Amino acid sequence: MKLLGFFLLLLFPLYAGAQNFESLVRELPNGGYSERGEVISQILKSGDKRIVITLQALSDGALYASEETGDIFIGEKDDLVDFFTQENLDVTSDSSIKKIKVNNKLRRLIQTGIIQAQHFSPLVSDRMQAAEHAFKDADPERIEILQEALVQEQDESVTAELKQAINATILKTDADIEMKKQAILELSALGAKARSPLSVIADVPELSEAYEEALLIIKNKERVQKFGQNMWYGLSLGSVLLLAAIGLAITFGVMGVINMAHGEMIMIGAYTTYVVQEIIRNNAPALFEYSLFIAIPCAFVIAGLVGVVIERFVVRYLYGRPLETLLATWGVSLILQQLTRSIFGPNNREVGNPAWMSGSVEFIGINFTWSRVWILIFATVIFLSLMWFLNKTLFGTQIRAVTQNRSMAANMGISTGKVDALAFGLGAGIAGLAGVALSQIDNVSPNLGQGYIVDSFMVVVFGGAGSLWGTVFGALTLGVATKLFEPVVGAVMAKIIILVGIILFIQRKPRGLFAIRGRAAE
């Protein structure tokens, strides 16, 4: 019993505070505007977590009171709920329910109170939001609140935001010139974000030199951030090209086949993702967040089986005849495109993004979208898994043997025909995995693969046919080069420059950067 009494004593202040807050809210309808202002001031001092909701509703005219019972309601006149219990009540016919009115003076008091309550909220997110708003508003009347909040703040990120909010506010006050110059210097470290608060002193002669120095710092920072953003875009594009080209590197390296239907394997993977998501939406919507994990093995198997069928019924009869192989696989690609149009229609299909692939995060001034981050991780996992498979399994060893010297591999008892079929299927399956990833950032349509087939061949030829490391290097190099050239010369000219560069490079190194070594390669 003594222990129970001890806990009751601990909880009593919280209970008493809640009771005090509720009684104050019930006093809001009483008296005139001056009395209401005194009640608002007491509500602000109560420390209750419902302060912001209460005062915002009061300012917006969404707080009502019953003259008969004294009950408090929140919402619209025709859709009110009890403020304290959130119980839905049918009170539309009760004429005693009146809106609790405020004048402009009270609204200013309320807004100041809301800001103050947010600055001293126990939630870091509330305090950060308040600091960000203070930076944008830079209201000189609130600088004392900001300085008090800074003294009490413990979170480093909120502290940094508060300091910059104070700097932005100082520029609008009558502070001395040296203090303003220091604020300008600290604001310039923010980069482009500082342009707006600095604009207020653009025409102040005493601060013109500091202003120009700050602009120079901001421009240099923007250049670095822009370069970093373009590098990220390039790595992101490179990861997409790697996924699209890595399967082609296998088939092209093992069999020397120019597979023009490789893009359609990507398309099959994307449509497999669409079908899996539709089945989940209609039958088990709770599993949608895991839809890509279900689609990945399905896309690999389906695209791989289609690849094996193409190799067994088309490609196997055309080995050693590259022109006929190119034309035949191009014809297969047209058939697959038309078949897809007949089944799914010519219009784009919607493939949803799970919550963990949506949104973005900003780091050192660079915006990283989660979809691109996960695709980069996915491409890395696929590459490492493929490297392990080729180097640590029997079938991988056979693929490498056939790649380096087909005739000797056959003489050693390796069934080169079986290796060809399974390698073609493996390459097609990986292309299907690329389709799963591309469905998250591109339109899923019958022409999806056509946008990546040319770039995939450029990556393979540039890196070295059959070399996975060459494919990685080629994909990342072409991706980064494309995104660095585009802002300077435009997207079309960037493609032309890169294509011309690869042609000139192949003239010097026909077998690419990482040429496969072996007797057949020699």
Q: What confidence score (pLDDT) does residue 298 get?
A: 92
Per-residue pLDDT band for 297 (boundaries 50, 70, 90) equals: very high
Per-residue pLDDT band for 517 (boundaries 50, 70, 90) equals: low
* DSSP structure string for 276-303: HHHHHHHH-GGGGGGHHHHHHHHHHHHH
Total-model pTM: 0.66
Q: What confidence score (pLDDT) does residue 91 get?
A: 61
Name which of 99, 119, 123, 130 is nearest 44 in CA terms: 119
Q: What confidence score (pLDDT) does residue 2 get?
A: 38
Residue 17 pLDDT > 70, yes or no? no
Q: What confidence score (pLDDT) does residue 188 get?
A: 84
Report pLDDT digits (tens) over 237-246.
888 888 888 8
Q: What confidence score (pLDDT) does residue 515 get?
A: 62
How many residues are recorded in the chain?
Answer: 522
Give the position of tokens 């809640």. Answer: 18
Among the ranges 236-240, 247-251, 516-520, which has the highest mean pLDDT value? 236-240
CA distance 392 to 516: 19
Which residue type, as a one-letter code, is found at position 498?
Answer: I
Which residue type, as a one-letter code, is found at position 36?
Answer: R
Asked which of 1-15, 76-90, 216-230, 257-271 is least confident by mean pLDDT, the reply is 1-15
Structure tokens at 468: 């996975």
Query: DSSP H helical segments within 28-82, as ranges?
Result: 33-46, 51-59
Please check whether residue 94 is in contact with residue 50, taking contact to mean a CB–CB distance below 8 angstroms.
no
In terms of pLDDT, which residue wins out, 28 or 331? 331
92 class by beta-carbon count within 10 Å (0-12 exposed, 13-18 middle, 19+ buried) = exposed
Q: What confidence score (pLDDT) does residue 370 get?
A: 84
Among the ranges 50-64, 217-231, 411-425, which has the highest mean pLDDT value? 217-231
Q: What confidence score (pLDDT) does residue 9 get?
A: 34
Q: Where are the beta strands (DSSP E) in 205-354?
A: none
CA distance 456 to 397: 25
Residue 518 pLDDT > 60, yes or no? no
Mean pLDDT for 173-184 is 84
Asked which of 1-5, 248-252, 394-398, 486-490 is least confident by mean pLDDT, the reply is 1-5
Task: Kindly report the average pLDDT of the chain as a whole number.
Answer: 80
The H or E element containing residue 63 is strand 63-66
Q: What confidence score (pLDDT) does residue 305 get?
A: 92
Which residue type, as a one-letter code, is found at position 300?
Answer: F
The CB density around residue 40, as the number of other CB atoms within 10 Å, is 20
Q: What confidence score (pLDDT) does residue 349 get?
A: 84
Per-residue pLDDT band for 302 (boundaries 50, 70, 90) equals: very high
CA distance 146 to 151: 9
Structure tokens at 445: 């349509």
Q: What angle do CA 91, 97, 101 make, to 5 degrees?
A: 135
Structure tokens at 490: 């435009």
Contacts of 497 (CB under 8 A, 6+ apart): 485, 489
